[in-house]
Chains A and B, each alone.
Chain A
Amino acid sequence: MRSSKYITICLAAVFATAASICAQEPERRDTLDTSYVTAVKEKMRNTTQTGLMRLDGEKLRGGVAVFGTPDIIKQLQLLPGVAAGNELMSGLYVHGGDGADNLFLLDGVPLYNISHFGGFFSSFNTDVVDNLDFYKSGFPARYGGRLSSVVDVETSEGNMKKWHGGASLGLIDGRLHIEGPVWKDRTSVNFGLRRSWMDVITIPAIAYANRRNGDNTKARGSYAMWDFNGRITHKIDEHNKLNATIYWGEDNLRAGIKELDEDNSYMDMGIRTIWGTLAGSLAWESKYSDKLKGKLLTYYTRSSSDVGYTFDINYTGDNGTNRMYFNDDNICAVRDGGFKYDLDWYPNSSHHVRFGAAAAMHGYKTVREYQQRNTFEGLDPEENNGGEGDRYLSWEPAAYIEDEFFISYNFTINAGLRASVFGTKLKSWGSLEPRAALKWLITNTACVKLSYTRMSQYAHLVSAMYIDLPTNSWMPSVPGAGPMVSDQIAGGIYLTPGHFKINVEGWYKTMNGMLAYNGANAFYPPLVNWEKSFTTGRGESYGMELEATYSEPKIELSAYYTLSWSWREFEAYSMFPFLDHNDNRHKVNLVATWRPNKKWNVFANWNYHSGNRITIPSHVIHYEEGSSSMLYQAPYNAKLPDYHRLDIGVDYRIFFKEGRMLNINLSIYNAYNHLNASFAMLDTDNDGNYIGMAYGLVPIIPTISVGYKF
């Protein structure tokens, strides 16, 4: 474990040295794209932090669209240092994180649930997204509350001059988007709406099947997801601006079966699941002077789910009607209300000081309610209603200060400190989190950066599975399951020779107070006293990332490589450290985009990573008479076959007058139909030898979507 860490650091150093030798100022080429390249260089030079990727809305809307829907999380999964977890899911395991330690901000409002349909789609509608900052290390002091990454998504303000919009239809969903001035140059709106339309097909299809079936058994089922983004921007004057934003998204799954007899006896079983997120904010941005500006944000965010099932039997006996009815509801919700006040102060040309305060009230709730009514002929009805649940109210004030100190043209330091307190009626915790980043500009095309960050996380995702389920809930730190804390150092060299951008970055991260589920309720993690079923431990992750990009207006080629280790130490699982489920030793992503002309946009990406780790029997003891028993020496003791797939796609655009455009997108996920292993078991072959057998679930998925923009 330790030796591999040193190998990583040495490799990073070798890469960095080699890269710096190559980092000569290139001969300036007078081409049309000089400004583009210069902009990229400027952006790189201006950023002191390590581990930061900035993606603009256009980039997020491009690329392969699985099921016809561009997906922010799936684009982030391609980046180095990020493991995706289970295929097609919205897993984001950053630098060895556990997937529930990423801070998702939508216009500054924290979101707890960022996916639809069990993780197949992320909640972010790319139509309304303006840009995204993705931090994997070097977190500025203004961010806090999660260990492993920050995904800061900003929606567009809406066009202040003209109305624009669009509509598109994909394999799974349809989207509408409109933006424009309500009051020219003063007030604009930007709205986006998505809705799946599978239920439009499935409901009539099931009804047809029921009619065709002809018997007394009727099935029902539907699934729908939708989300709405809205933003209103109003410029009060030259120095003041108001923003109001809202995000509202929901998933709704219903299924059941009813069996009806001729004497009106029936049996009805059904499940219903509703889960979603509501988030709203009001922000006031002010420029108090040339040296001081501020932003006051108030927000409310709520993620909730209701999973219920009903069982109803009604039958007629000799003396009357008998009925047995049972209904069960499991409700989970987390609600935040809070404010943030961020100030930017430029005391002189050498300092950019950011400071601010935030406070939030968190409400956590898990409730199970049930109703049982039994009526038997000749007997008094029996009624049994009840429930159980946990409710927590917590408060979390925080303050921070960070200073971007331009020591000289070549040296910049971003040093900061974040202080936070988290309290419930049970216990309170506090945290001081130092943050520091250093940038040394070696030449105009090469710089070196180093960073150290400490992060704390007070909220825990109570989940028994690696996929997003509505039965998952968020809970606060409690005695026995306190806050998680991470420390991370990162450093690298960043080069921009000509059209190239080459980054080599290494990191070492420890995570303490991590939680892992140690129970048997796969679908239903405990609703009450959740901490009893979790065990605490620590994690360690280290590795290096290589990012090489060649950019010009018509073509962009990117290659990402990650070499990483991700360890866990949970004494309840093993006395010894073990590799994590998402320990992908090698990860390679090759991304190509070609824009031969205005009409065509061709893109492809190839993804490879070492297989996820699984737990299978490691040993067998043979007994007399041929029997045997299987034993496991350690968790995650085997590696699935390596993962690879190719996604390709093409955009064809037809332009009309006045900027209107029809965009036809054809995307093929897993173009060469390589079934990648999702899980595995021990099996025997025809000769009776034990073999590992993995099972792949996701084949080639071609999709087409059509969009119209005006």
Chain B
Amino acid sequence: MRALRTVLVFTLLLLAVSCEIPFALDNVSEPAIYIELIPASPYKTAFFKVGYAEPPYGKPGVRAHTPAVQDISLSLNGQPVQLEPEAMVNGNLITVVPQDFEPVPGDKVDISVKSGSAPLASASTVIPPLPVLESVEMVPAGEDSTSKTAKVTVKLAGDVKEGEYYGIRLLEKVTIVTLSEGFQTDTTVNFEYKLPGQVASREDLNSLDLDAFANVQYNGALTDEGLNISGPMMLLTAKQFKGASYSFYVSRGSGFDWSILFPEGIDLPEPEMPLGDTQMPDIPQTETLVLVDNAQYVVELYRLSEELYNYFKAQYLMEFNMLSNFGVTPPNFTYSNVLGGLGIVGGISGVRTQWLELPDTSPLSICKKAI
């Protein structure tokens, strides 16, 4: 699909080469304040961003104005929130750290900024209620020559209603055990956010439906390990739930990931075995062998405020729906709920499961046989 879009884009550009029509941008906009504040519950909202956005008719790279912390007024349920006096400055954008800012579901967050020649920008959001998980099931859902798949069904306590918005993230934990001459010498744990449903099945690999995988990068943290890593979040509306349930797939390749399996520094031949072959290839005897343990997963379920969902969806479309800028599809743009400015002020709340084990997909047993 990407290739198809690329071909179309280039075709349109070729057609357009000889017929450019410059036009004025003077009336497109006025200077405005940009706000990016995503207050979250139950964990602490560490920072937010405020910037000075200019109309795009000046020279690129010319800095006009940078907001200051004193320009910002942030409140939680009407009570002012203290801000660290020093902000990290990057051009016309500052990163601000609020003090003791831990809103809970139902709290109202207001922010207003007046800086430079831009008009007053203000926005508010309410932290959405915590989603109530009734159950999460992970069951085997097939196997082909390249992967093993499990189906994950997330069930909420009640039916999802129109106007409710959710996000799902899937954190994978893989334990890597290093053996040296038959003794365990090192254990490392790798964490990575996977995109749920990305490799659902052969069927979906052929699918051209990009909307089924609407997702954005989100860097909130809900794990016990206190991780703060960015990872993809699937975006869901009530339309994607069946009553109270939503299902997605998680898949692991049944072949070996050679870069993980063998530590750097060991000279290995390229594997000749086809991906998915269950026989161990002819591996030269080495002193060190690394085993990849069965993967475990945490399902994180978020409830998004409507404005945050719209903002995230717009972010996704910005990346994938390039054709809108050619005037042949509906528009894409950075969604904004900031009155008098632009940006996003949207609440989010989330819950997580315990570690779940993907059944029967570990290559560990194969490695053990080889040993």
Contact = CB atoms under 8 A, between A and B. Distances in A.
B21 A621 contact: no
B63 to A, nearest CB: 5
Contact of B211 (A466, A533, A687): A533
Contacts of A388: 203
Nearest to B32: A619
Nearest to B21: A694
Interface stretch (A159-167, A293-301, A448-456, A673-681): A673-681
B243 to A, nearest CB: 12
Contact of A466 (B61, B93, B210, B329): B329
Nearest to A638: B28
A521 B56 contact: no
Contacts of B211: 519-521, 526, 532-533
Interface string B241-278: 00000000000000000000000000000000000000
A155 to B, nearest CB: 33
Interface string B305-332: 0110010010011001101111111111
Q: Which interface residue of B31, B211, B323 has the most chain A CB atoms within 10 A?
A: B211
B321 A519 contact: yes
Given A465-B328, A623-B93, A637 B310 contact: no
Interface stretch (A43-51, A348-356, A542-550, A571-579): A571-579
Contacts of B16: 695-697
Given A619-B56, A631-B34, A692-B22, A466 B91 contact: no
A616 B22 CA distance: 14
A685 B59 CA distance: 10
Contact of A695 (B21, B24, B240): B21
B162 interface: yes
Nearest to B334: A632
B208 A524 contact: yes
A615 B325 contact: yes
A658 B299 CA distance: 84
A656 interface: no
Contact of A524 (B29, B209, B239): B209
A2 to B, nearest CB: 18
Interface string B56-94: 111111111000000000000000000000000011110
B330 A638 contact: no
Contact of A520 (B58, B59, B214, B325): B214
Given A386-B203, A520-B214, A694-B21, A480 B329 contact: no
Contact of A634 (B62, B238, B310, B333): B333
Contacts of B332: 615, 632
A516 B22 CA distance: 30
Interface in B21-41: 21-25, 27-29, 31-32, 34
B173 to A, nearest CB: 30
B239 A619 contact: no
A633 B92 CA distance: 17
B53 interface: yes
B57 A519 contact: no
Contact of A521 (B63, B208, B342): B208
Nearest to B211: A519
A628 B55 CA distance: 12
A480 B64 CA distance: 46
B59 to A, nearest CB: 5
A620 B53 contact: yes
Interface residues of B, number: 77
A670 B369 CA distance: 76
Contacts of A518: 313, 317, 330
A634 B310 CA distance: 13
Contacts of B24: 692
A685 B56 CA distance: 12
Contacts of A615: 324-325, 331-333
Contacts of B225: none
B237 interface: yes
Given A388-B203, A675-B21, A619 B321 contact: no
Contacts of B32: 619, 633
Contacts of B53: 619-621, 631
Contacts of A631: 34, 53, 334, 342-343
A616 B51 CA distance: 19
B224 interface: no
Interface string A685-710: 10111111111110100000000000
A628 B162 contact: no
Contacts of B209: 521, 524, 526-528
Given A516-B330, A521-B208, A526-B211, A620 B325 contact: no
A684 interface: yes
A571 B19 contact: no
Interface in A587-635: 612, 614-624, 626-628, 630-635
B335 interface: yes
B149 interface: no
Nearest to A328: B206
Nearest to A376: B274
Given A464-B329, A522-B5, A622-B62, A370 B206 contact: yes
A648 interface: no
B64 A690 contact: no
A529 interface: yes
Interface string A455-474: 00000000011110000000
B283 interface: no
B4 interface: yes
Contact of B19 (A627, A635, A638, A696): A696
Contact of B239 (A521, A531, A637, A696): A531
Interface in B320-371: 320-321, 323-337, 342-343
Given A574-B335, A612-B327, A680-B327, A520 B317 contact: yes
A529 B239 contact: yes
Contacts of B313: 518, 572
Contacts of A618: 28-29, 55-56, 342
A1 interface: no
A388 to B, nearest CB: 7
A532 B22 CA distance: 38
A695 B330 contact: no
Q: Which interface residue of B23, B24, B58, B310 has the most chain A CB atoms within 10 A?
A: B23
Interface in A379-424: 382, 384, 386, 388
B54 interface: yes
Contacts of A682: 25, 56
A309 B19 CA distance: 33
Contacts of A622: 54, 60-64, 91-92
A622 to B, nearest CB: 5
A517 interface: yes
A641 B214 CA distance: 34
B23 A628 contact: no
Interface in A341-387: 370, 372, 382, 384, 386
Q: Which interface residue of A616, A631, A693 has the most chain B CB atoms within 10 A?
A: A631
Nearest to B316: A520
A86 interface: yes
A246 interface: no
A6 interface: no
27 contacts: A519-B321, A520-B210, A522-B328, A524-B1, A526-B209, A612-B327, A618-B28, A618-B55, A618-B342, A619-B31, A619-B54, A620-B56, A622-B61, A627-B61, A628-B60, A632-B334, A633-B333, A635-B330, A677-B21, A689-B57, A689-B58, A690-B25, A690-B57, A691-B57, A693-B21, A693-B22, A694-B20
Listed from nearest, the 3 A-B pairs whose CB atoms lie closest are: A632-B333, A619-B53, A695-B16
Interface of B: 1, 4-5, 12, 15-16, 19-25, 27-29, 31-32, 34, 51-64, 90-93, 145, 162, 202-203, 206, 208-212, 214, 237-240, 306-307, 310, 313, 316-317, 320-321, 323-337, 342-343
Given A620-B53, A640-B327, A699-B19, 7 more contacts: A372-B206, A519-B317, A520-B210, A571-B306, A615-B332, A687-B59, A692-B22
